[in-house]
Amino acid sequence: MSFFAILCALLIEQVKPLTRSNPIHHGLRHWANAVSSNFDAGKSDHSWVVWLITAALPALAVLAVHWLLIYAIGWPAAVVWNVMVLYVTLGFRQFSYHFTDIRDALDAGDEDLARQLLADWQNVDASNIPRSDIVRHVIEYSVLASHRHVFGVLTWYVILAAIGMGPFGAVFYRMSEFTVRFWKPRFKPKLNASNTGNIHYENSVVSDPLRDTTAKAWYLVDWLPARFTAMGFAVVGNFEDAIDCWRNYAQQLPTLDNSNDGVILAATSGAMHVRLGGELLKPAAHAESTNSSFGDLDSTTAAPKATISTPGREAEPAHLRSVVGLVWRYVVLWMLLLALLTLSNLLG
């Protein structure tokens, strides 16, 4: 059942991608806000309860519907439900238009447009970076996005599908990723009522213990999928170099969100023989408030320090097509393995 559900979801998503401004996305934002507002007491032990309620309850609800359909109607209805769940949680088209637009701008020689598109995508300051750094950052963000939107979901869905809990795994993984992204410190533009020409920045309202707990939980949830993705990129790319970079540089490529990301980026670098890592981009709020009179920003939005780079060739626009090939080869590998497992179960 897993193979057919994943295949149908991927095909449907290619034809009719889920838009960012969809009711489910808005519903999850309201859900996370409601839970944090009512249960976040600012204490570490309470923060785990808040995170579990936010991430696990939607996953349990989806799983309950899955089991109800199996026992009340049968497997065909459950397969349709799985396709619907995977369509929402899994898919390239939820982020790939950013990648495509930036690549097209670089191909047309419009580096200013590429910088602006990169800044809009990640809410960072990309105004002064050179062409090679544009490509490098696009590769890094795209690989991590493909992991979180596709391969991480696949990992937990397939693992838990073996015990009849596939939909739970898909939703729980995406909810874990959603909460750490939604609750991280951020600054939103807010017009001043007395002077519409001024812009204030207000931080998110959740407590620091809840943010810390959410980050720890996301690291644990993503630990296994990140290593599956890194190994998959090694298999479909340059295996020896990917493993070497993984071993020597994974812990030296910290990112702003998740230390597991270093494993994926190091393996990608070796698999493609392209140099990744280096200085991280500044959050846009940091750049926009340089001349602001509203005080210092929170330390979490300070300009990140430079990090070590992996060995390899300097990133070039041609590498953008290489990363597309790497990702799709890994998708094909996943589907082949699932097809073989499905065939063996049918014959057995």
Residue pLDDT, tens place only, 102-113: 999 999 999 999
Q: How far apart are CA 64 and CA 289, in angstroms?
A: 47
pLDDT of residue 257: 56
Residue 283 has a pLDDT of 77
Compute the distance between CA of residue 277 and CA of residue 143 in angstroms, rounded to an integer: 13
Contacts of 210 (CB under 8 A, 6+ apart): 36, 40, 42, 47, 50, 51, 183
Number of residues that this document lists for the chain: 348
Quick one: pLDDT at residue 231? 97
pLDDT at 193: 42
Taking 50 as the pLDDT cut, the residues of the chain under it are 187-203, 286-304
pLDDT at 115: 92
Report the predicted TM-score, pTM, of the whole model to 2 decimal places: 0.86
